[in-house]
Structure 1
C-alpha cells in the first residue's frame, strides 16, 4: 500500500482529479478482462450498445457511444469479422448502414456484461456494495446532467 501523502493534498481535494484517476484504474481493469477475450473497450461498447438499444444506424451508434464515426467503422469491421455483428442497408434510408447483433454477438454481450460487472466490483473492492451503488448513482447524475445540457445546446 502506498504511503499516505504520496499525492498532493490539494489535488486529492479536486473531484475531477480523483475521477480521472478512478477512471484510469477502472478502465485498466476492464480492458484487461476484455483482452482475455481478444476484445478492446470499443468492441465491448459496440456489443453492449446494440444489446441495450437493438439495431441502430451506424452513425446513431457512434453518437450514442461517444465514438468518432470514422473510428467506429474500424471497430465494426473487427467485430463483424468475428461474426458478432452484421451490417445492412437501412430499409428506411438506403444511404445508411444499420448494425445488428448476431446470435453469437448477443450471447457474447451477455457474457461480457458479467465479466465487466465482476471487474468493476474488483476495482471498487475497498467500497461496500451500498457505497458502490451510491458512487455509481452520483456519477450517473453528473453524466445525465451533462448529456441534458449538451442536448439543449444541440437542440
Structure 2
C-alpha cells in the first residue's frame, strides 16, 4: 500500500513528486484498484476481460497463447479460464492437432459478457481519467504505448535500471 492514511492529508516531498516512475506507479495502482472494484461488482476480474477481449480479437487459441497475448501468468490464465468456463463464457476443448493442449473459444454468452465488462471498464476509466481532456487522454495513451514498446524492445537489456 502506498499511503498509510488518506493521501489528501499528507504533503509529498517535491523530489519524490518529480519522479515520473513514482507518479506513474501510484496512478497505475489507483486506477487498477478502481477498475478492479468496478469489475468485482459484476463478479469479474481484469483477467476475465483480458481473456474475452483477446479471444474476440484473435479467435480460438491455446491457454499458452492466451497467456502470451494477455501478459497474464499461465497459472492465473488457468484460474480465469476455469471461472469463465463455469460461467459458460468460453469453451475448452482438446486441440485436435496437439492433444497436450486445450483450445479456448469465446461463446455467445462470452460475447455478451465482454460487452457488459467493456461498458463497466469504459465508465470506470472515464471516472479515473476525468481530469484529462480528450486530447490529453489520447496523448497519454500514445505516450504510454511508446514507453511500453520501448521497454518491450529492451527486454534482456538492463531495462530495470534507472
Please say whether Structure 1 and Structure 2 have the same fold, judged by a TM-score greater than 0.5.
Answer: yes
* RMSD of aligned alpha carbons: 2.0
Paired residues for 1:130-149 under 5 Å: 130-149=135-154
Q: In 1, Cα distance between the equivalents of 2:63 and 2:84? A: 14
Aligned to 1:96: 101
1:108 aligns with 2:79: no
Aligned length: 151
1:2 aligns with 2:8: yes
Q: In 2, Cα distance between the equivalents of 1:15 and 1:82? A: 40
1:38 aligns with 2:43: yes
Under a length normalisation based on structure 1, what TM-score does the superposition of the two structures give? 0.88
1:2 Cα deviation after fit? 2.8
Higher alpha-carbon deviation: 30-39 or 64-73:
64-73
Q: In 2, Cα distance between the equivalents of 1:81 and 1:74? A: 11
Greater length-normalized contact order (CA 8 Å, ≥ 6 residues apart): 1
Cα displacement string for residues 54-95 of structure 1 (whole angstroms, at most 9, x for unaligned residues):
211110101222222122211111111010111111222221
Unaligned runs of 5+ in 2: 1-6, 158-162
Secondary structure at the aligned position of 1:67 is classed as: coil
Aligned to 2:56: 51
User: Which of 75, 81, 84 is matched with 2:80 structurally?
Assistant: 75
1:144 Cα deviation after fit? 1.9
